[in-house]
């Protein structure tokens, strides 16, 4: 297997093919993606082949049969120069299966394939930004057996795959396979070796295959470097590379990369998350009252120690050296979007922001307090964003506490994501979420409401109570619906008998009675008045309903603290299809929660105030009650 085996077919997956061509330069990497012991020999052949790709934190085995797309008895997509070699077409088919179809591979970035081949870290370097260390960077990357490629930006759709007068193809990914420094006219010339995955169409400028400059090179060196054939591979001087190409893509290896020759200096963490409409999809940060940036997932990263190289510089230079820093790499990936391309869903525009935070922020107990404090936090960099699968940023930051917030461009855009963190020294990485708890005031017996006197409330009760001095579901329905019509803003349809029976059950927790005494009725009225007060405050748009983020703030004001999974489960139980909760549903939500925490309190036989249970046990208790 070698890089000359890769010749592009009738699909725009040059980004994948260029990455595959680079992969052949490193057998220890290739053997992980294309496991050995597979062939068409009778002893081994079973009609299927195995390939392995890294996907969002784990290696995935993909099995394909050997039926390949053809037209007129010729391979339709990638092919090799010979007619009896099929590892590359089979690899392409396996990657197409991983992503849902061949069509899904049409258009992409080489780093996406690099990461899937190695589990490494993608880095994008703009070439039009002055970078005196560029050649050293490329040299170091190649010495570490990392993968690399480049492309020319496309401004207009009509320019895609258009050929320049220099023989280069716009919007097309070239792999970088080698470097060399030679002396020409007493000056050092730095050369890069590139390859077009088409297997033809080459650079025709300085140091190209037909360039007369090769005539001035020593014969033995010319024989080693200069090969005149139409194979898509060519040499290019660094200054020409910078002039004509726009973006360099590099994939650094981490501990997930296969092979004995790969070592990692990174401490890594990986988190699988979701942006969910109404719950955690807040969009980018905007300076408007309706900014929902605060509902996005939030992650705390604690950097404890500076890098070793930074400490050595400080020891060597003393006060002249700036304060030592820590290397932090952040990689945000949107999951499985390529599989949805055939349904009209392309990659979302995703981004992440990093803020330096005081310890005070981590000690805040509620989302409401974090919402208030977030606009005042200092970002350490502009937002890192893009419409590709992966968005990666490299930072040098002093030790301290940092907040990472991943988001989509607009609110309510849904997607799964993987967030990876890489540091040289040890770090702490945690999602910031609520601790499930309830404030003591909620479980205390509420006083009778302040609307009128206790005597008036007692008269209403006795008007509907029977000889047993209690009211059942039908009587409670009459009382509640008579008063509900007096609050038109809440847009209540009225309570049914079944709903009133549920309310009685909440207030008769632990009892089999289906009726309310006067004292219980007073407590119910006190609760309803409190829920109405909170509902009025947090229904900010006065719509008569509350959405998810209004509900989070209302719950905290009432004294309930729920983590995201619990909140999502309750919203699904009580909200309408538009994720809205009217006042009646709000009442049942709050009474349900109060009953659940009362049950928890009854199970706390030690009186410690803490109850230990698994997540599954908690969700069953909370939602099935």
Q: Residue 290: what pLDDT?
A: 78
How many Cα atoms sit within 13 Å of 242 on the Cβ side? 14
Is the distance from CB of 531 to CB of 588 less than 8 angstroms? no
Q: How far apart are CA 481 and CA 492, in angstroms?
A: 9
List of residues 6+ apart from 406 with CB closer than 8 A: 273, 275, 296, 297, 299, 332, 350, 351, 352, 417, 419
Buried residues in 324-335 as b, exposed as e (16+ CB within 10 A): bbbbbbbbbbbb
Q: How far apart are CA 116 and CA 333, in angstroms?
A: 12
* Tokens coding 92: 């392409």
How many Cα atoms sit within 13 Å of 58 on the Cβ side? 5
Q: How far apart are CA 475 and CA 516, in angstroms?
A: 10
In the sheet that holds 326-334, the strands lie side by side as 267-275, 415-423, 326-334, 390-397
> What are the residue ranges of helices labelled H in 167-324?
219-225, 238-244, 308-317
The segment(s) of the chain belonging to CATH 3.90.70.10 are 3-252
Q: CA-based angle 115:119:120, to the nearest 5?
A: 70
Tally of helices (H runs) and strands (E runs) in the chain: 19, 24
Q: With left for phi above 0 and alpha for psi between -120 and 50, is residue 154 left, alpha or beta? A: beta
Q: Where are the beta strands (DSSP E) in 437-553?
A: 437-438, 545-546
List, by residue number, the catalytic residues: 14, 172, 196
Question: What torsion do the CA atoms of 457, 458, 464, 470 make, to the nearest 10 degrees?
Answer: 120
Q: How far apart are CA 472 and CA 478, in angstroms?
A: 10
- What are the residue ranges in the chain where pLDDT is below 70? 3-4, 145, 157-158, 160, 227, 254-265, 318-321, 445-454, 484-489, 491-492, 509-511, 625
Name the helix (H) or strand (E) containing 188: strand 187-195
How many Cα atoms sit within 13 Å of 211 on the Cβ side? 21
Q: How far apart are CA 532 and CA 584, in angstroms?
A: 10
Residue with tokens 């329905």: 477
Q: Which of 270, 195, 273, 201 is nearest to 236 (CA)?
A: 195
Helix (H, G, I), strand (E, B) or coil at 565: helix
How many Cα atoms sit within 13 Å of 31 on the Cβ side? 9
Q: How far apart are CA 178 and CA 193, in angstroms?
A: 5
Q: How far apart are CA 181 and CA 409, in angstroms?
A: 44
Q: Where are the beta strands (DSSP E) in 336-414?
A: 350-356, 378-379, 384-386, 390-397, 400-408
Q: Residue 319: what pLDDT?
A: 64
The segment(s) of the chain belonging to CATH 1.10.238.10 are 438-624
Q: Residue 258: what pLDDT?
A: 54
Helix (H, G, I), strand (E, B) or coil at 191: strand
Question: What torsion do the CA atoms of 106, 111, 113, 117 make, to the nearest 10 degrees?
Answer: 180
Largest CA distance in the chain: 116
Q: How far apart are CA 328 and CA 397, in angstroms?
A: 7
Q: CA-based angle 393:191:194, to the nearest 5?
A: 65
Q: Residue 365: what pLDDT?
A: 79
CATH code of the domain occupying 267-432: 2.60.120.380
Helix (H, G, I), strand (E, B) or coil at 267: strand
Return the DSSP state at 244: H
Reduced DSSP (H G I as helix, E B as strand, rest coil) percent helix, strand, coil of the chain, to 5: 35, 25, 40
Is the distance from CB of 319 to CB of 576 less than 8 angstroms? no
Domain 438-624: give its CATH superfamily.
EF-hand (1.10.238.10)
Q: How many C-beta atoms surround the C-beta of residue 276 within 10 A?
A: 19
How many Cα atoms sit within 13 Å of 473 on the Cβ side? 14
Helix (H, G, I), strand (E, B) or coil at 436: coil
Return the DSSP state at 575: S
Distance of CA 104 to the CA centre of its chain: 20
Q: What Cα–Cα distance (Å) separates residue 187 from each residue in 182, 183, 221, 238, 391?
A: 8, 5, 16, 14, 39
Q: Residue 262: what pLDDT?
A: 46
Return the DSSP state at 465: -
Options 3.20.20.70, 3.90.70.10, 3.30.1360.70, 1.10.357.10; CATH of 3-252: 3.90.70.10
* Tokens coding 2: 């070698």
What residues are paired with 54 via a beta bridge? 59
Q: How far apart are CA 358 and CA 362, in angstroms?
A: 7
Q: Residue 449: what pLDDT?
A: 46
What residues are paired with 282 via a beta bridge? none
Segment 422-466, tens digit of pLDDT: 888 899 999 998 889 998 888 775 444 444 446 777 888 888 887
Distance of CA 422 to the CA centre of its chain: 15
Is the distance from CB of 444 to CB of 319 less than 8 angstroms? no
């Amino acid at each position: 297997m070698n890089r000359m085996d890769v010749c592009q077919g009738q699909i725009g997956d040059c980004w994948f093919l260029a990455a595959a061509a680079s992969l052949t330069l490193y057998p220890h990497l290739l053997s992980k993606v294309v496991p050995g012991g597979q062939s068409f020999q009778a002893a081994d052949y079973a009609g299927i082949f195995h390939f392995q790709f890294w996907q969002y934190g784990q290696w995935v085995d993909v099995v394909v049969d050997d039926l390949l797309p053809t037209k007129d008895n010729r391979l339709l997509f990638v092919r090799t120069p010979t007619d009896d070699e099929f590892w590359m077409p089979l690899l392409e088919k396996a990657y197409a299966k991983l992503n849902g179809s061949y069509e899904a591979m049409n258009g992409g970035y080489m780093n996406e394939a690099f990461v899937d081949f190695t589990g490494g870290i993608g880095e994008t370097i703009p070439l039009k930004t002055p970078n005196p260390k560029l050649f050293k960077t490329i040299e170091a990357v190649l010495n570490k057996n990392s993968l690399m490629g480049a492309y020319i930006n496309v401004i207009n759709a009509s320019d895609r795959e258009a050929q320049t007068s220099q023989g280069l193809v716009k919007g097309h990914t070239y792999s970088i396979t080698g470097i060399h420094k030679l002396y020409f006219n007493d000056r050092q010339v730095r050369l890069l070796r590139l390859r077009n995955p088409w297997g033809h169409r080459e650079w025709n400028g300085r140091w190209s295959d037909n360039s007369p400059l090769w005539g001035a090179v020593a014969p033995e060196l010319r024989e080693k470097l200069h090969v005149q054939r139409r194979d898509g591979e060519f040499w290019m001087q660094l200054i020409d590379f910078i002039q004509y190409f726009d973006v360099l893509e590099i994939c650094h290896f981490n501990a997930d990369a296969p092979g004995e020759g790969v070592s990692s200096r990174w401490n890594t963490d990986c988190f699988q998350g979701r942006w969910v409409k109404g719950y955690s999809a807040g969009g980018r940060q905007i300076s408007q009252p309706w900014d929902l940036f605060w509902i996005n997932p939030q992650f705390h990263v604690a950097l404890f120690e500076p890098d070793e190289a930074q400490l050595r510089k400080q020891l060597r230079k003393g006060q002249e050296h700036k304060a030592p820093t820590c290397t932090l790499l952040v990689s945000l990936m949107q999951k499985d979007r390529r599989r949805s391309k055939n349904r009209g869903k392309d990659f979302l525009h995703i981004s992440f922001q990093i803020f330096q935070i005081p310890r005070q922020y981590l000690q805040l107990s509620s989302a409401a307090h974090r919402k208030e404090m977030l606009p005042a936090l200092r970002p350490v960099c502009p937002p890192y964003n893009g419409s590709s699968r992966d968005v990666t940023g490299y930072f040098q930051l002093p030790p301290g506490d940092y907040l990472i917030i991943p988001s989509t461009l607009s609110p309510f855009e849904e997607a799964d994501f993987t967030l990876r963190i890489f540091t040289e020294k040890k770090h702490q990485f945690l999602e910031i979420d609520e601790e499930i708890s309830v404030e003591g005031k909620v479980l205390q017996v509420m006083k009778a409401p302040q609307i009128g006197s206790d005597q008036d409330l007692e008269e209403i009760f006795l008007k509907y109570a029977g000889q047993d001095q209690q009211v059942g579901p039908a009587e409670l329905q009459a009382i509640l619906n008579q008063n509900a019509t007096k609050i038109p803003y809440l847009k209540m349809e009225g309570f049914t008998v079944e709903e009133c029976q549920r309310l009685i059950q909440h207030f008769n927790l632990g009892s089999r009675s289906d009726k309310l005494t006067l004292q219980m009725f007073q407590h119910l009225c006190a609760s309803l008045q409190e829920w109405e007060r909170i509902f009025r405050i947090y229904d900010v748009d006065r719509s008569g309903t509350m959405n998810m983020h209004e509900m989070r703030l209302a719950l905290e004001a009432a004294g309930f603290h729920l983590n995201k999974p619990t909140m999502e489960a309750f919203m699904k139980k009580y909200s309408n299809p538009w994720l809205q909760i009217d006042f009646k549903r709000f009442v049942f939500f709050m009474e349900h929660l109060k009953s659940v925490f009362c049950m928890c309190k009854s199970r706390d036989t030690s009186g410690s105030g803490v109850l230990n249970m698994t997540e599954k046990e908690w969700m069953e208790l909370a939602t099935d009650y």
